[in-house]
Structure 1
Amino acid sequence: MTAHRAPRTALLATLSLGALTVLAVPEAATAAATDPWVRAWGTNAVGQLGNATVLNQSTPGDVVGVARTDVRTLSGGGHDSTAFAVALLSDGTVKSWGANGSGQLGNGTTTGQPVPTTVAGLSGVSAVDAGSDHVLAVRKGRIYAWGSSAKGQLGNGLTEDDTKKTPVLVQALDDVKDVGAGCQYSVALRKDGTVWTWGDGSNGRLGTGPSAGNATVNESRNTPQQIKNLTDIDAISVGCNHVLALTVDGKVKSWGEGRNGQLGNDTRVDSLSPVDVKYLDSGVTKISAGPYHDFAILEDGTVKGWGWNGFGQLGDGTVTERTTPVPIDNLKGTKSIVGGADFTVAAQPDGSVLTLGNNDVFQLGDGTNIPTTTRDHKPVTTLPTGSGITRVATTTTGRAAFAY
C-alpha cells in the first residue's frame, strides 16, 4: 500500500533549546488523526527517528515513507549514540534506519542512514527484533541475524566481534515462533513452548544456570541452548539484561539482571534461571520488558508495573523503585506499552498516546522538556484521541520513541 501525505501548511522550524537542537512541529498533535505515517520523537543524533535529519524532535514527526498500515512490527535498538530501528512490513520485508557502526542495519555497510531502506535479500519474514547492536528475524521458522557478534549474539558459532553486515543463519534452531534481542544476547521462542538463548551470559540473562567457572553468571554461548525446566511459554519480551516470559496459563517468569527490581520477585538480585514474577498468578495477556522497568497487561485491562522508577516512569504516582508489580491506575485499558531508558509510552484504546517519566531530550514528545515528576506524576498526551495509534516502541536503552 502506498500512502500520500496531505500537504502541511505549518513551517518546520529548527531552533535551539539549551544545548539541544530540536525540530519543532507545532501542528503535530492536530495533524496526527489524518497522518498515515509511523510517528517518532525524542533524541535523534544518529538519525534513529528516520526523518531524514539528525535533529531532536520535540513532538511526533513522520518516519519517512513508512505508513502505519504497512507495518506489522517495529523495534528500536541501541542507546542514544548507537540507536537504530527496524520495521517488519506486511509484505514480509524489513526496513532499517539510524546508526550502523556494527552493521546492524543489514545493508552491507557500516554507514548510518537517517531514512528507512530495505534490508537486501530478506523476504518472507514473520518476526523481527532489535537489540543493542544486532537484529534477529524469523523466516520460515529459521532465524537470521546481523550486526555485532562480539559476545556470540548472532548464534552462528562465531564471536570476537565478527560483525555481519547482512543477514546470516542462526545455527541449529528451527520451528521458531518469536525472537527477542537484548544487550549482546538473543532469545528465541519455539512453537513447542520452549525457550532458547545465546550470547553474553552476564547477569544470568541467558537463564541457563551457573557457569562452570563462575557461579554468578551463565556460560556465554555462540549457538542456541535450551533453558531447562521452562516449558509452555506463549510469549517473550527481552530487556537489556533481563527477560520476561508469559506462560500459556497467564503467569510471568523472569531471569537476568535484578538490581532495579525488574525481575519482579521482591529482590534486587540477579537470577541465573527463571523465577516467578510475584502477584501475577493468572490473567496476564501481554508483557513488556524495558531496559530497567517492566509492564504486564491483564485480561480486565489492568496494567501493572515494576522495576526502576527514578523519574516516575512506572506511572504509579511515585519515584519509588518497585520490586514487585503494582497497579498503574492512570494507564488502565492500555493496548500497548513499552519502557525506554527513563520514560514510558502507552497506546490507548481511543488511538491516543500517553507518556510518563523524564523529558530532558523530548522523549515524552509533548513539545516541552518538562518531566512528569513536576506535573503531579500525571501522564501527558503525546498524540490525541483519534490518532489511529495501536502500538508503540522505543530504542533498547535510549530516549527515542515510535508510535504506529
Structure 2
Amino acid sequence: MSMGVLVTLLSGDQTHISVTEDALVDVLRQKAQKKLNASIGPLITASGSLLQGSATLKQAGLQDGDTVTAVLRDAALAATTGAFALIRGDGSVVAWGHPGAGGDCSAVQEQLQQVKCIKAAAAAFAALREDGSVVTWGGHGGHSAEVQEQLHDVSEIQATFGAFAALRTDGSVVAWGDPDAGGAIPDNVRARLRDVKQIQANALAFVALRGDGTVVTWGHPLEDADSGALPDLLQDVLCVQACRLDAGFVAIKADSVVAWGFEHPMLMGGFANPGGSRFLRCGLQISRNAWAAVSQAGHLSVEFGRWNYRANFDIAEADKLHDVEHLQCCAEGTFAAIRRDGTVATIGDKRNKPAVFVEEELKNVVQVQSNRSAFAAIRGDGSVVTWGPKNSGGNSDHVKHLLSNVKAIQASERAFAAIRDDGSVVAWGPKQTGGDSSAVQTQLKDVKCIQSTDTAFAAIRTDGSVVTWGDVTAGGYSRHVSTQLGRSAEEDEESERLAVLAMVQASASAPTKATEGLKVAKSKAKPNAARRPKPKAKPKAKSKAKARAKAKAKASRSGSLCLCAILVPVSETPKSSTIRPSQTPARAMRQQGSTQVLFSGDPG
C-alpha cells in the first residue's frame, strides 16, 4: 500500500515522499536526501520518537500524511590501505574493498550504530560510538575481544599500522593489536599512563602526552623516549606529532623541537633551537626520513635522518628561507614551503625539485597537496600547478584545461583528484591508482569531499551518497553496496553504458591507427625494394590477368579486415559487465575480455 510522508528540515525546507508502507525507514531517508540534496541523519516523528533505519514504515507506526523531521548530519569516510568505511548520516556504517583490509564489516554490522568517528590502521578499522564504546573489524587490530570490557568512556582513538590505542575520559589508555606495533602496553609503562591529554601514533609505536608536559612511549623499541638525555629534554612539551608512514616522533616545545625514534642514531634525541625562536604550535611536517618545523617568525628548521639519503638533500636552502607560512611534505622526503607572498620553495630531495618553468608558475599559491613523491599546488585563481614524477601525477598537462576553479585536492599513493567549485572532479595520474575517473565522470557531481586508499578514491556528494573509482580490489569497486551508498541502480547502469560506449568507440578507431602504422612501415621499406633488380618482363596478357586476380584478392581481404575490426568489440561486449569484489583485476580481465579495460580502473 502506497503512502505519502512529509520530510522537513529545521531550516524549513521540506519535500513530500511517496513510498510503500513495507519500505524501510532507510529508503525514506535516502529518497529525502536525493530530493533535498542534503546528507540526512536521524528521522524524528512528531511525537519525538527516533526512527530506526532497519524498521519498515509500518513497524515504525507511520501513516499516510505523517510528518517527520530530518536532522542534517555530514557523512564521513575512513580508509585503510585497501578498503573504505563510510559513516552515513544516520550513524550506521558501510564498508567495502578488500575483505582482509577491513572491507567486510558484516560480523559486527548490528553493532555499528550511532558511530561518530572511525580510525584506520593499515588493514583494520575501529569505530567510536556516541556512548563511548568501540567496535572493531578487519586484519591486525581488528580483533579487540580481549580488551572489550575496558573499551568504555573512550574519547579518542589512534592507530599504528597494526594496532590501536584508545584514550578514556579518565586519562587512562587501552591498547590492542600487534604487540610489535604498540598493541601491548608493558606494565612499567602502564603505571605512567595517567592524566593523558593526547595520543599520537607513527607506523610502529604510540606516544602519550600527559597533563604535566611529559611524554610516555610504547611499541617498537627504537621509539623509546626513556633512553639517554631524552627524559630531560622531553619536559614542558606543547604537542607531539608523528611520521604516520614510518618511525619517528617530534615534540614541539615553546622554544625548541625534540626528535627521536628515527632510524639514524643522530636523531635519537636530536635537538634544534634556531635562535631561540618560538615555534608555531604543532606547525611541522614529517616524512619517512626528515622533519621540518616553522618558527612563529617564519624561519625553517630541517633535519634529515638517514645518511644514505643525505647525498640528495640540500639543507643549506632551508637556512635561507624566511616568512614561511605553511609546510607540506611528500613521503619520500621533499618539503614544499609556502611563503607569505604566495611563492613556493622546495627543500629536501633534489630529484623532486620542480623544473625552472614550473617554479615560475608557483605564485599566489594558497594550498599544496602531495602524494608519495609528487606535489599539486592550488593558486589563488583556482588553477593548479603540479611537479614530480609523471608516474605519480607530477605531470597534469593532459587535464590542465580542466583544472580551473579548483578548491581542494586529495591524493592516493600515486594519483590526484581535484574538486572544482561546481562540485565536479578532475583526476590524473596512473589509472591503476585512481588517476582515471572517466568511467564514473557523469556521477561526479555536487562532490564536497574525497577520501582515498592507496590506489582508489571515494567521493562524498552533498546528498551523502558516494561514488568510487580506481583499483577494484582496494575500494574502487562498490556496485555491490551501491544502494547503501545512496546510488541508484539506474545511475550506475547509465554510467556503465556510457563508459562501455566510449570503450567501443576507442576500439573501433584502433584499426585506423594500425593501418597507418602499416603504411609507414611500407614507405620505409620502399628504398630497399628499389635497389633490388626488377624481375624480367612477362607477356602482357598474363601480367594483366595476374594483376586483376591480385586486386580482387586484396579487396576481399581489406573488406574482411574492416568488418572484423568494427564487429568484434561489439560482439564481445557483455550486456551487463560487473566484477565481483573477490576478483583481481587480472582475473576479471581474463573472464570478461576486452571490456575489462574499462573496469580495471572503474568501479562505480
User: Please, what TM-score do these two structures have when normalized by structure 2?
Assistant: 0.37
Contact 1:189 1:195 in 2 (8 A): yes
In the TM superposition, what are the counterparts of 1:289-300 in structure 2 within 5 Å?
none
In the TM superposition, what are the counterparts of 1:63-78 in structure 2 within 5 Å?
70-71=115-116, 73-78=117-122
What is the aligned partner in structure 2 of residue 198 from structure 1?
218
Match of 1:127 among 156, 161, 168: 156
Contact 1:74 1:85 in 2 (8 A): yes
Residue 146 (structure 1) shift: 0.3
SS at 2:120's partner residue? Answer: strand
Contact 1:141 1:174 in 2 (8 A): yes
SS at 1:360's partner residue? Answer: helix
Contact 1:136 1:180 in 2 (8 A): no
Alignment identity in percent? 19
What is the aligned partner in structure 1 of residue 387 from structure 2?
318
The structure-2 alpha-carbon separation of the partners of 1:136 and 1:192, relative to structure 1 and needing over 3 Å to count, comes to same
Contact 1:232 1:247 in 2 (8 A): yes
The structure-2 alpha-carbon separation of the partners of 1:320 and 1:133, relative to structure 1 and needing over 3 Å to count, comes to same
Answering whether residue 256 of structure 2 is matched by residue 187 of structure 1, we say: no
The structure-2 alpha-carbon separation of the partners of 1:253 and 1:303, relative to structure 1 and needing over 3 Å to count, comes to same
Amino acid at match of 1:138: L
SS at 1:178's partner residue? Answer: strand
Answering whether residue 280 of structure 2 is matched by residue 250 of structure 1, we say: yes
Question: Cα deviation per residue 1:40-70 (whole Å; 9 max; x = unaligned)?
Answer: 679747x8777455569xxxxx997899984
Higher relative contact order (CA 8 A, sep 6+): 1
| Structure 2: runs of 5 or more not aligned | 1-24, 42-74, 87-92, 100-104, 255-278, 294-300, 308-314, 343-364, 378-383, 391-402, 461-604
Residue 193 (structure 1) shift: 3.9
Question: Cα deviation per residue 1:45-99 (whole Å; 9 max; x = unaligned)?
Answer: 7x8777455569xxxxx9978999842x432211xxxx12223233322232322
Larger radius of gyration: 2
What is the aligned partner in structure 1 of residue 184 from structure 2?
154
Amino acid at match of 2:386: G
Match of 1:136 among 165, 168, 192: 165
The structure-2 alpha-carbon separation of the partners of 1:192 and 1:254, relative to structure 1 and needing over 3 Å to count, comes to farther
Q: Distance in 1 between matches of 2:98 and 2:438?
A: 14
Match of 2:244 among 223, 239, 249: 239
Amino acid at match of 1:122: L
Q: Distance in 2 between matches of 1:345 and 1:332?
A: 10
Answering whether residue 135 of structure 2 is matched by residue 95 of structure 1, we say: yes
Q: Distance in 2 between matches of 1:366 and 1:401?
A: 9
Contact 1:128 1:137 in 2 (8 A): yes
Amino acid at match of 1:4: D
In the TM superposition, what are the counterparts of 1:5-404 in structure 2 within 5 Å?
6=28, 33-34=38-39, 37-39=75-77, 44=82, 51=94, 53-54=96-97, 70-71=115-116, 73-78=117-122, 83-99=123-139, 102-108=140-146, 121-139=150-168, 140-150=170-180, 154-157=184-187, 170-202=190-222, 206=223, 208=225, 226=231, 228-229=233-234, 231-234=236-239, 236-241=241-246, 242-243=248-249, 250-251=280-281, 252-253=283-284, 257-258=288-289, 261=290, 263=292, 268-270=304-306, 302-304=366-368, 308-310=372-374, 312=375, 317-319=386-388, 341-342=413-414, 360-362=432-434, 366=437, 385=446, 387=448, 398-399=454-455
The structure-2 alpha-carbon separation of the partners of 1:186 and 1:172, relative to structure 1 and needing over 3 Å to count, comes to same
The structure-2 alpha-carbon separation of the partners of 1:235 and 1:129, relative to structure 1 and needing over 3 Å to count, comes to same
The structure-2 alpha-carbon separation of the partners of 1:359 and 1:232, relative to structure 1 and needing over 3 Å to count, comes to farther
Residue 149 (structure 1) shift: 0.8
Contact 2:407 2:421 in 1 (8 A): yes
- The structure where strand makes up a greater share of residues is 1
Q: Distance in 2 between matches of 1:68 and 1:330?
A: 40
What is the aligned partner in structure 1 of residue 26 from structure 2?
4
Question: Cα deviation per residue 1:301-343 (whole Å; 9 max; x = unaligned)?
Answer: 9445678424x4678510169xxxxxxx999976xx9866445
Question: Cα deviation per residue 1:220-278 (whole Å; 9 max; x = unaligned)?
Answer: xxxxx8582464424535412244556675253567841xx56575565349xxx9xx6
Q: Distance in 2 between matches of 1:256 and 1:306?
A: 11
Aligned CA-pair RMSD: 5.9
Residue 136 (structure 1) shift: 0.8
The structure-2 alpha-carbon separation of the partners of 1:360 and 1:123, relative to structure 1 and needing over 3 Å to count, comes to same
The structure-2 alpha-carbon separation of the partners of 1:338 and 1:256, relative to structure 1 and needing over 3 Å to count, comes to same
Q: Distance in 1 between matches of 2:336 and 2:127?
A: 22
Contact 1:338 1:344 in 2 (8 A): yes
Residue 199 (structure 1) shift: 2.2
Contact 1:182 1:238 in 2 (8 A): yes
| Structure 1: runs of 5 or more not aligned | 10-27, 57-61, 110-118, 159-168, 213-217, 219-224, 322-328, 370-379
SS at 1:154's partner residue? Answer: coil
Q: Distance in 1 between matches of 2:211 and 2:306?
A: 28
How many residues were matched structurally?
Answer: 305
SS at 1:239's partner residue? Answer: coil
Q: Distance in 1 between matches of 2:324 and 2:187?
A: 38
Q: Distance in 2 between matches of 1:255 and 1:262?
A: 4
Amino acid at match of 2:155: S
Contact 2:214 2:236 in 1 (8 A): yes
Amino acid at match of 2:216: W
SS at 1:188's partner residue? Answer: strand
SS at 2:233's partner residue? Answer: coil
Contact 2:131 2:153 in 1 (8 A): yes
Contact 1:263 1:307 in 2 (8 A): no
Residue 32 (structure 1) shift: 8.0
Residue 208 (structure 1) shift: 4.3
The structure-2 alpha-carbon separation of the partners of 1:352 and 1:231, relative to structure 1 and needing over 3 Å to count, comes to farther
The structure-2 alpha-carbon separation of the partners of 1:186 and 1:69, relative to structure 1 and needing over 3 Å to count, comes to same
